[in-house]
Structure 1
Amino acid sequence: MAGTVNPDLRKERESSSFDPDKITNFLYGGPEIVKRKRELESLALNDPDYDHEDLNFMSNEQQYETQLKKGILMTKKVQKLNLTDAMDILFYRSAVSSDATAFGLHVSMFMPTLHGQATQEQKDKWLKLAENYVILGTYAQTEMGHGTFLRGLETTATYDPQTQEFVINTPTITAYKWWPGQLGKTTNYCVLMAQLYIHGKSHGPHPFMVQIRSLQDHKPLPGVTIGDIGPKFGYNSVDNGFLAFNNVRIPRENMLMKYSKVEPDGTYVKPPSTKLAYGTMVLIRANIVLNSGRALAKAVTIATRYSCVRRQSEMKPGQPEPQVLDYVTQQYKLFPYLAAAYAFWLTGQTMMSVYMTSSSQISKGDISVLPELHALSAGLKALSSWVANVGMEECRLACGGHGYSHASGLPRHYANMTPGATYEGENTVMMLQTARYLMKSYNQSLQGEKLAGSVAYLSGVQPVPAAGRTRNMLDLGALCDAFRHRAARLVHEAAMQLRNERQAGKDQPDAWNAASVDLVKAAMAHSQYFVVKNFAERLTDSRLDSSISAVLTRLCQLHALHGLVTNSGDFLEDGYLTGADIRQARRHINALMAKLRPDAVALVDAFDFPDGILNSILGRYDGNVYQHLLEWAKASPLNKTDVHQSYHKYLKPFLEANRAKL
């Protein structure tokens, strides 16, 4: 980050009210972790072996090959460096490639599923092979015709007690496994989710360990049809694949049997809870919340820095063009998403902490935490990925024309983030799963039962304050109260809507469908309340000094107030807030943006993304945008020669023929 820094950016950093390193320490968990993070990132980014080529100038096939080569090299180096801590590996991997890595699903889903769903004997058989990359795996769940609805999966695993084998089949074209990352060309094993059939009876989807390619020549095994699904909106360095089976037999021991079991004679042993099989999904969803915060943070970093470097139009006749970030409309585009990035970053950390604690309880046989964990991870996954998608696109638009170029980094970051709204559970369905838990909890509260922590507030809808009551709309306690009241009221109203539909003669499924818009709204309000409350609670950390506490409090206030104003109808409907409260909230947003303006660059610097991870000309730390934009453009393969070969092939004959006609 040394060298000449753009004077506008230098001035921004000099005028900041706090030391960004202090917030960096807060975001990552302390100075020692940050020091370690920077060491590992520097090690990766400055390693000449990696050839950090620009993927934007490559075909899909070239991108795949480049990332595979890089992934293998990275895996060897991780082993050579003896990196065993999960955080260390994450820091190093993200610096080697900010795009998807070659063995992403192997590490993030295949091995965690073996850890979570396999018996000790099965772990002894496969985990060491997986950890040492003797076998490479992916997680094959989604099908061409079914994704989020797991019970609808069509791939079958039929038990044959005569041979003590499962026979795997793809009965229809819609049963083809579709989308698993690294399936197309890379992996030789998969954890396969398939409908378990015993003696003609279905027992629902279960995980199976299935070899799909030869370990000698990598060819598909007999009965296995496999390939790549082709170019996508993003992640084009990843070989997402399709997979089908025709009477492929696997031993009985290949069903992952930590919870469910099939005895040699075909006796089925039920799991203590059907949700235990989805432990990997909960972990992935918790990760998506954290990744949504990080992805949004990258986009805001790029747009904020560029908005300080870019000068545009005249605000006052005859005066120099102002920095784009001086326009309040630009601040209103970016600062709420800056606040949201912090909110989801902190929420993601909380979710991972909750997951670890819950996993510990589950491993001891206590599965009582599963329903709450499932509902919380589903709602927060949906909310965070939705907001990140919208926010990243807003950041791209805020960069004007240059935001459209891959040089900005924004199209690639955005395209790689958009699947988050669909994978590991389509967002509307996720919100409805959260709503199902909310309805159950609400009904329990009516029976006087004690509710789990995240839904304890449903035990009573607070009475609406008396008309005319004045409140301080900057008070975080009052803002949390408002979001809690809104969530409780919307859950109550969704429950009443559901009851009314039943009383009108509809059966439960039809009543649920009729009330689904209200149910999604209630789940959204519940998730937003959790995020606002979590942000406010994290600010009570005694290790935060006054300068850090002050600026983070402004961000928390902005996040809450922006959510309140955006959804003002929800707060006004029952008179909990008044028109005067909303007007006051709007004025506070303007005042907060003015206070945050001098700290904006320092706040994005605190995310601590080195240029090699940010991969953006517009978001460079030194702010030297224009000269590097030109250098980047000159590197385009079309500029290797002054005259492209297609001129001689197509254009020259066309022009000469036209001239001959004159």
Structure 2
Amino acid sequence: MEDLARERAQATFDVNAMRILWAGGEEAFHFHNKLASLVAADPVFLKENKPRLTRKELFLGGISKAARCRELAIELGLSEGDARTLRTLRDDRAYDDLHWNMFVPVLRTQATPEQQRKWLPLATSMAIIGCYAQTELGHGSNVQGLETTATFDPSTDEFILNSPTLTSTKWWPGGLGKVATHAIVHARLILEKDYGVHAFIVQIRSLEDHKPLTTITVGDIGVKFGNGGNNSVDNGFLQFNHTRIPRTNLLMRMAIVTREGKYVRQNVPKQILYGGMIAAREIILMEASLNLSRAVTIAVRYSAVRRQFGLDDGSREIQVLDYITQQQKLFPLLATAYAFRIAGQWMELLYSEVMSQFESNDFSGLAEIHACTSGLKAITTSVTADAIEQCRKACGGHGYLCSSGLPELFAAYIPAFTYEGDNTLLFIQVGKFIIKTILNMRRSPIPQGTVEYLTDIDIHTTKCCEVSQDDDWSNSNVILDAFKARAARLALSLSKRIQNFRNQDDGFEELSIDLVKVAEAHCQLIVLSNIALVLH
């Protein structure tokens, strides 16, 4: 470890300050270290033999670690946010991820105050264990295409849930296969007509003996990709055979169904139905920086101790890290980890602010938070998945060994590209949001938040680059202006082309590749803008 010690001693920056920046403040840094020390010293969290475990052993290990996290959270009196930090340190996904990351947030955003008083104490005490059953075998990102039905029976004041086709089988929810007692189920609400997809809370297993209820078929979908990976999670399937639930199990913040079977729309936007996904994407953004940091740490440390080739004078071989090509591979990824961390910290604050607004029925920030979480989820997971593999390849043959940690990290992370929204579709959604913002600027309020730069779109699209020498690029404002100009020019150009179509949707479909490019430029600008704020 002599090489590592020497590299650390040669640091030209304040290492402790960087640690504090990463943690989000000095207090957060010390608290994180305290939790990390607890986890490192606890035998429940040992993972030395993980590559040799069977699927059953992985699953049982995940249960044990989740249970221990819960015990520690209670013993230490941790807030939900601090308990989430603790769960990230266990290095294993488990059944409780969806409970805390989606089930509980959905109750907070989509249930009425009366429903919250009933269900939240049960959920937060884990007297019930929840999952999020939206995706079906036949439909994922196309939420409006879901086939599961919930038909109201006025004679009993109940909804009857049914899985009318094989493709309507709920598929993939973590925690569903073996553990969850309840699920947030997305189904088509049927009265005298089809009112589209709504969220319901449904009990799926007995609280007495944990057996599935009689009209429910539920189980585990099987082994997933990778040696380990997400196989500690019981991703499941779910079918309903005329399952009856009380009318009041419809989450009614968006719409109420009265005892007489009348549908009453509430004064909230229908997009609140996706509140659970917004919560999950905010968490996914922070997880991107965490997983990328682990991969690049392994690769940089390996490169510092690995030596290959030498000088003609017979001296020691050269550290791989000293080769410019290796630096080119790894240093941008190291910087990206910090960039995503800073963006994630900003998103946590924005999410907290918007959730506070939701509590007072202020939904003005919904479109912004939806676009931000969608776009940043897409860009961070896409980059991170590729970066982990780049780190593995940068470690040569040793990176292919399970003992390097990189194959396991890659296998566990790559589903992030798909879950909670396919990245390509998310980019398209963000691209549409930006183009519509431009097209509506004359009759809508001045763009705020992350699209505020569009108010100066004429300046950004006509201004020339003022860089005259290489050193000018060390000015963060110069770089920021360049990214604004690129994002604005791509968006303005596409908005003009979209207007040539008689039907806007036809234009979006024909030019979807360009929508992705617009969204990527916009999301990169968001990340860079937050870095600039920290630098200043």
TM-score range (shorter-chain normalised) is over 0.9
1:490 corresponds to: 490
Structure 2 matches for 1:501-580, cutoff 5 A? 502-503=501-502, 507-540=503-536
Q: Does structure 1 residue 33 correspond to structure 2 residue 28?
A: yes
**Aligned match for 1:208, one of 188, 200, 206:** 200
2:162/2:243 contact within 8 Å kept: yes
Deviates more, 1:13-22 or 1:475-484: 13-22
CA distance in 2, matches of 1:525, 1:51: 42
- Unaligned 5+ segments in structure 2 are none
Cα displacement string for residues 481-517 of structure 1 (whole angstroms, at most 9, x for unaligned residues): 11001101111121122222x15xxx33332211111
CA distance in 2, matches of 1:285, 1:51: 29
Residue 468 of structure 1 and its aligned partner are, at CA, apart by 9.0
Q: Does structure 1 residue 433 correspond to structure 2 residue 425?
A: no
Q: Does structure 1 residue 76 correspond to structure 2 residue 71?
A: yes
Q: Identity rate of aligned residues, in percent?
A: 42
For the structure 1 residues 467 and 335, does the alpha-carbon distance in structure 2 shift closer, same or farther, using more than 3 Å as the test?
Answer: closer
Residue 442 of structure 1 and its aligned partner are, at CA, apart by 0.3
CA distance in 2, matches of 1:70, 1:448: 50
1:315/1:321 contact within 8 Å kept: yes
1:385/1:420 contact within 8 Å kept: yes
2:238 corresponds to: 243
2:210 corresponds to: 218
**Aligned match for 2:154, one of 150, 154, 161:** 161
What SS does structure 2 have at the residue aligned with 1:162?
coil
1:179/1:241 contact within 8 Å kept: yes
Structure 2 matches for 1:303-318, cutoff 5 A? 303-314=299-310, 316=312, 318=314
**Aligned match for 1:194, one of 179, 187, 195:** 187
Matched letter for residue 244 of structure 1: Q
CA distance in 2, matches of 1:44, 1:437: 43
What SS does structure 1 have at the residue aligned with 2:222?
coil
For the structure 1 residues 481 and 433, does the alpha-carbon distance in structure 2 shift closer, same or farther, using more than 3 Å as the test?
Answer: same
CA distance in 1, matches of 2:466, 2:48: 62
1:262/1:268 contact within 8 Å kept: yes
1:334 corresponds to: 330
Residue 75 of structure 1 and its aligned partner are, at CA, apart by 1.8
Q: Does structure 1 residue 257 correspond to structure 2 residue 252?
A: yes
CA distance in 2, matches of 1:466, 1:264: 65
CA distance in 2, matches of 1:56, 1:83: 33
1:41/1:91 contact within 8 Å kept: no
CA distance in 2, matches of 1:296, 1:38: 19
Residue 129 of structure 1 and its aligned partner are, at CA, apart by 2.0
2:378/2:426 contact within 8 Å kept: yes
**Aligned match for 2:387, one of 373, 387, 391:** 391
For the structure 1 residues 49 and 342, does the alpha-carbon distance in structure 2 shift closer, same or farther, using more than 3 Å as the test?
Answer: closer
Matched letter for residue 211 of structure 1: Q
CA distance in 2, matches of 1:221, 1:49: 32
Matched letter for residue 230 of structure 1: G
For the structure 1 residues 112 and 449, does the alpha-carbon distance in structure 2 shift closer, same or farther, using more than 3 Å as the test?
Answer: closer
Residue 280 of structure 1 and its aligned partner are, at CA, apart by 1.9
2:281/2:374 contact within 8 Å kept: yes
For the structure 1 residues 365 and 115, does the alpha-carbon distance in structure 2 shift closer, same or farther, using more than 3 Å as the test?
Answer: closer
**Aligned match for 2:357, one of 339, 345, 361:** 361
Matched letter for residue 530 of structure 1: I
1:105/1:182 contact within 8 Å kept: yes
Residue 74 of structure 1 and its aligned partner are, at CA, apart by 3.0
1:444 corresponds to: 440
Q: Normalized against structure 1, the TM-score is what?
A: 0.77
Residue 68 of structure 1 and its aligned partner are, at CA, apart by 1.2
Q: Does structure 1 residue 228 correspond to structure 2 residue 220?
A: yes
CA distance in 2, matches of 1:51, 1:463: 55
Residue 354 of structure 1 and its aligned partner are, at CA, apart by 0.8
1:40/1:88 contact within 8 Å kept: no
Q: Does structure 1 residue 11 correspond to structure 2 residue 6?
A: yes
Q: Does structure 1 residue 372 correspond to structure 2 residue 368?
A: yes
CA distance in 2, matches of 1:61, 1:129: 28
Residue 50 of structure 1 and its aligned partner are, at CA, apart by 4.8
Cα displacement string for residues 149-208 of structure 1 (whole angstroms, at most 9, x for unaligned residues): 111111111111221111101111111111000111111111111111111x12221111
CA distance in 2, matches of 1:46, 1:537: 37
What SS does structure 2 have at the residue aligned with 1:18?
coil
Structure 2 matches for 1:632-643, cutoff 5 A? none
1:473 corresponds to: 473
**Aligned match for 1:418, one of 414, 421, 442:** 414
CA distance in 2, matches of 1:72, 1:256: 29
Residue 32 of structure 1 and its aligned partner are, at CA, apart by 2.1
CA distance in 1, matches of 2:368, 2:509: 23
CA distance in 2, matches of 1:398, 1:416: 19
2:289 corresponds to: 293
1:444/1:451 contact within 8 Å kept: no
For the structure 1 residues 274 and 353, does the alpha-carbon distance in structure 2 shift closer, same or farther, using more than 3 Å as the test?
Answer: same
What SS does structure 2 have at the residue aligned with 1:473?
helix
2:50 corresponds to: 55
Q: Does structure 1 residue 127 correspond to structure 2 residue 124?
A: no
What SS does structure 1 have at the residue aligned with 2:524?
helix
Q: Does structure 1 residue 138 correspond to structure 2 residue 131?
A: yes
1:181 corresponds to: 174
Residue 289 of structure 1 and its aligned partner are, at CA, apart by 1.3
For the structure 1 residues 464 and 318, does the alpha-carbon distance in structure 2 shift closer, same or farther, using more than 3 Å as the test?
Answer: farther
Cα displacement string for residues 506-548 of structure 1 (whole angstroms, at most 9, x for unaligned residues): x3333221111111111111111111111111111xxxxxxxx
What SS does structure 2 have at the residue aligned with 1:214?
coil
What SS does structure 1 have at the residue aligned with 2:308?
coil
What SS does structure 2 have at the residue aligned with 1:16?
coil
Cα displacement string for residues 83-131 of structure 1 (whole angstroms, at most 9, x for unaligned residues): 2323432333333x21113311111111121122222222222222222
Report which of the two structures shows the higher radius of gyration computed on alpha carbons: 1
Residue 446 of structure 1 and its aligned partner are, at CA, apart by 4.2
2:315 corresponds to: 319
Cα displacement string for residues 318-363 of structure 1 (whole angstroms, at most 9, x for unaligned residues): 3321111000000000011111111110001111111111111222
Residue 317 of structure 1 and its aligned partner are, at CA, apart by 5.7
CA distance in 1, matches of 2:511, 2:138: 26
CA distance in 1, matches of 2:494, 2:134: 32
CA distance in 1, matches of 2:55, 2:444: 58
1:269 corresponds to: 264
What SS does structure 2 have at the residue aligned with 1:163?
coil
Matched letter for residue 168 of structure 1: L
Higher RCO, Cα 8 Å, sep 6+? 1
